[in-house]
Amino acid sequence: MEELFDQLYALREEAKKGRDPTTPDETLFYLLSVAKERKPSRILEIGAAEGLTSCAMLLSQPQAHLTAIELVAERARSARENFRRFGVEGRAALYEGDAGEILPLLQGEYDLIFLDGPKVQYRRYLPDCKRLLKKGGILLSDDVLLFGWVDGSVPVPHKRRMLVEHIREYLELLKGDPDFETEVLPIGEGLAVSVKIK
């Protein structure tokens, strides 16, 4: 197992040099600590990229099954290869396409949802994330502070204003939803941690 994690770490370091998104180390460590504490049996990842975060969760939680959604075909191919490479393909189901179209088709309840897809679509995904999350489950929404733009601590570049507005509206929805208890942690580019209480 340690050797597999070493290989995974090496792939993550290589991915950081490229253009494809990679979950920051501190975000991944937090995600794995949540998984260790909660022992999820079903995990949903929206925005799987090359599947490295999915592999890390599955390697750390041998009881878990994971559903991953990835829009970009090349990344989805890499994710499938990585699932095979790390021997988790039997516990990972990958859907290639628009999460907004795939989420309504999913059934059953998930213990843990990691939302890391296109940020402007977070509001669109929220109703299905809520439907799919079991009571007591946890929704982790990544990149919700974006370099300090969202909370106003850093001026927003003009071309990013629409993106920032989408995320602010998403956070308002989350924090205002009585079915969730939400806090935003300054981890990575900001991580919203929402526990479904109803």
Domains and CATH numbers, the chain: 2-196 (3.40.50.150)
**Parallel, antiparallel, or unpaired: how do β-strands 180-185 and 92-96 relate?**
unpaired
Contacts of 41 (CB under 8 A, 6+ apart): 63, 64, 65, 111
3-state secondary structure of 44: strand
pLDDT along the chain (198 residues), means of 10: 64 62 84 95 97 93 97 95 95 98 98 96 98 98 89 82 91 97 95 97
Residue 160, pLDDT score: 86
Pair 31, 14: CB distance under 8 Å: no
**Beta-strand runs (E) in the chain:** 42-46, 65-70, 92-96, 110-115, 133-142, 180-185, 191-196
Residue 19, pLDDT score: 58
Distance CA 139, CA 126 (A): 10
